[in-house]
Structure 1
């Protein structure tokens, strides 16, 4: 049977994702690629620290606001998308002024707020726990695809009329998203502050370990993004990525000696790495629901960590540009599958919690993991192979912490919301 409310949420999310892609295209020239590679590290470090600020706002404010907003989730989603349209309108005439920076900051806050609001809608629309991963996966897939689709007209508008046209197009899309959100169900209201039962559910061992593993995967996403960016763009630490097929020992030796290239790699190579990462997110979004039909979410997260460990070792062994693409694809797949599984664990094991507040807290932590992971290759110049080895080590350590120290209760069941009827279908 078709779930009409969920299809309406998918429509809202598709429009919101397309608008986000258009804003990204409009702002692309003002961020990383406008910075001279030889003097980039300090300015990129400051930018990364700034990206944590929206989550500092989202964490303590947006979650409780979602739970206490009069009328439920629907008017909150409408208000967020309407706010994004208004900020985009203000950005049209300020793309070349200093006012662009606080406006871009406000857009970041609203984008992250929407992500929290969207995630909190899923358990209200999909009542069965086995639907959570599938629902989250469909939303992630739709968001990625519509991001690609939205980038097309955004690039055309940017070519014809500049960044102001692109932001104007995004404003129109956000207005459509706001109007579409009026068809969403209201959702429940939780005016009371967090109670002991909710706090106990969210601080359970299973959720805490899943959050740690998912945070590690999110940190690796940030790490490889900026490791590849500096390695391929050149500057003071141009890393030679040649040498596919070298023995692992030789690869480590050359990496530690700091092989450098004489010329920076072309920008399209970094574009391919970004495309591989996004493709990995898409594949992970498709695989997670199918894996969930056979395995518990905890097994999926552990398998993602082990797979990333193996891919990291393989990339360090090869050391070439092809290995970089392979690792980016693997990071995207495992991070996507892990995040979707974590969302399902929270929605399943903390079913009595206020999910708007819960997802705000966890998204805050995960973004901090992303920034910390990204800061490492920015602050500490390193050859690509060293970074690949660090990814493998991080994945291995996270696997040990998450899986080996599991309690007997966790081994016997996947969570308090999982009844006996579900056990025969899942490993």
Structure 2
């Protein structure tokens, strides 16, 4: 419940923009519309004209940079924002102001092909993901009950997807008639409107007191941690697929329409042409620009489908089964990308992963609200969202530093989500028996084990050296 006005009833399909939830929804629509317009402006600029092989090291460095805010948000900045009245609303406003300023700076960069476009684009990425963390904390404060959380997040997902489509119409016209500078100018106006909308979001306190022992125990329970691990895998896969397809569409691999053998028979590849290892699976050729639009459209559509279907599926099956099904859909997505060539494989990979991630998020939210009834929702969702954003960046980092064809990337997605599904299913069975589920060792545990082994070896070597020295001394003594 919000501190301002009546609680929002989410059983109705419409959203009242005068209500606390409606104000947040309007902010979300404008923010996501601005993000969509920025992405569209980049599609017609230097950002997608640069040689992918030359851009990889820059993108990798910026991705590492994007992890810093989320590493700080959880343990340091997060608790302070939780206890400050309007702390997370201030982040909403600040992220919108920052993106509006950066969008105005990008007008000159996209029109003049300036290399400043790269850092500006990734500052946009950082601000957009910081906004997602703050939004996740505020949602529980603007609904009438915990039961409305999944429906609220579903509505936000749906309206944000519709906002992306709606922004794409004027954005596409401006891109064709004027150019990318006009599109990013429209994005700046959208972010400016988001600032005004964010100022009207209720200035509630997310968590007046630090997390108590009971809240910490609930959030660290086996069910919540297993679900968080599964959701983190899905978010990492989204980051991986995003940059895998981005490099594929920008010439990171050849268009796989004909196999080399068939191409030679058909005359598409001259018999005297020497082919590189990358050409052995597809003939030379660039990727048409409209492929980008198809994949973006299917990604948005997949997110809408997942958000619309998840609440209905949840009524028929348990939350864990919905999350497990999302991982299974990730396997289907990976196999589609691995077995289907060219645009069809890339499109199906993007579409099914978007459905899986969207539905999986609804399932995870439901697990937290069920298994951690005494936990502060805003605080817990913000912290989990911070971790998921780090997982996204780590997943995106892989195809940036390791060039991969779409098909190889598809196999990676299929194997990773299959392993996560098996691990989650085993954990579910263990929790059902009242046992602790198996868990992979953390980085701290691995480091501790390594240090213990190193110190043990040093101790044994020191003891051996001492015994050898004593023996030498005894042998050298006069009889």
With the shorter chain as reference, the TM-score category is: 0.7 to 0.9
Q: Is 1:388 aligned to 2:410, yes or no?
A: yes
CA gap 1:72/1:352 in 2 versus in 1, 3 angstroms: farther
Other-structure match for 2:78: 63
Question: Given the superposition, is the C-alpha separation of residues 103 and 308 from structure 1 closer, same or farther in structure 2, using an over 3 Å criterion?
Answer: closer
| Higher CA-based Rg | 2
Q: Which gives a bigger RCO, structure 1 or 2 (Cα 8 Å, sep 6+)?
A: 1
Q: 2:76 aligned with 1:25, yes or no?
A: no
Could you tell me which residue of structure 1 aligns to residue 130 of structure 2?
A: 113
C-alpha displacement of 1:79? 4.6
Does the aligned pair in 2 maintain the 1:258–1:383 contact within 8 Å?
no
Aligned to 2:391: 369
1:81-102 CA distance string (max 9 Å, x none)? 3454455455556765677666
Task: Check the 8 A contact 1:123/1:347 in 2, yes or no.
Answer: no
Displacement after TM superposition at 1:239 (Å): 6.1
Write out per-residue CA displacement over residues 182-229 of structure 1, whole angstroms, 9 at most, x where no aligned residue.
443333343444433332222221121111111211222222233333
Change (3 A) 1:319 1:186: same
CA RMSD of aligned residues (A): 3.4
1:247-286, aligned counterparts within 5 Å? 259-286=281-308
Aligned position for 1:240: 256
- Whether 1:216 and 2:238 are equivalent positions in the alignment is no
C-alpha separation in 2, matches of 1:257 and 1:158: 33
Query: What is aligned with 1:246?
Result: none
Check the 8 A contact 1:62/1:357 in 2, yes or no. Answer: no
Query: Residue 395 of structure 1: CA displacement?
Result: 1.4
Residue among 159, 165, 182 paired with 1:142: 159
How does 1:299-378 map onto structure 2 within 5 Å? 299-378=321-400
1:175-214 correspondence to structure 2 within 5 Å: 175-214=192-231
Q: Which moved more, 1:10-19 or 1:308-317?
A: 308-317
Q: Which moved more, 1:129-138 or 1:174-183?
A: 174-183
SS across alignment from 1:405? helix
How far does residue 288 in structure 1 lie from its aligned partner after superposition? Answer: 0.9
Runs (5+) with no aligned partner, structure 1? 244-254, 413-427
Q: Distance in 2 between matches of 1:56 and 1:141?
A: 29
User: Which one is further off, 83-92 or 129-138?
Assistant: 83-92
Shift of 1:274: 2.7
Distance across 1 between alignment mates of 2:178 and 2:192: 21
Q: CA deviation at 1:394?
A: 1.1
- Calculate the TM-score normalised by the size of structure 2: 0.72
Contact residue 238 and residue 264 of structure 1 kept, 8 A: yes
**How much has 1:299 moved relative to structure 2?**
1.0
The 3-state SS of whatever aligns with 1:45 is: helix
Structure 1 stretch 396-405 or stretch 216-225: which is displaced more? Answer: 216-225
Report the Cα offset of residue 122 of structure 1. 2.0
Kindly state the Cα deviation for residue 113 of structure 1 after the two structures are TM-superposed.
2.7
1:36 Cα deviation from its structure 2 partner: 0.9
How far is the alpha carbon of 1:13 from its aligned partner?
1.3
Contact conserved, 1:116 with 1:356, CA < 8 A, in 2?
no
How many Å apart are 1:403 and its aligned residue?
1.3
Q: Following the alignment from structure 2 to structure 1, what is the Cα–Cα distance between the partners of residues 403 and 184?
A: 35
> What residue number does 2:51 align with?
36
Q: What does residue 397 of structure 1 align with?
A: 419
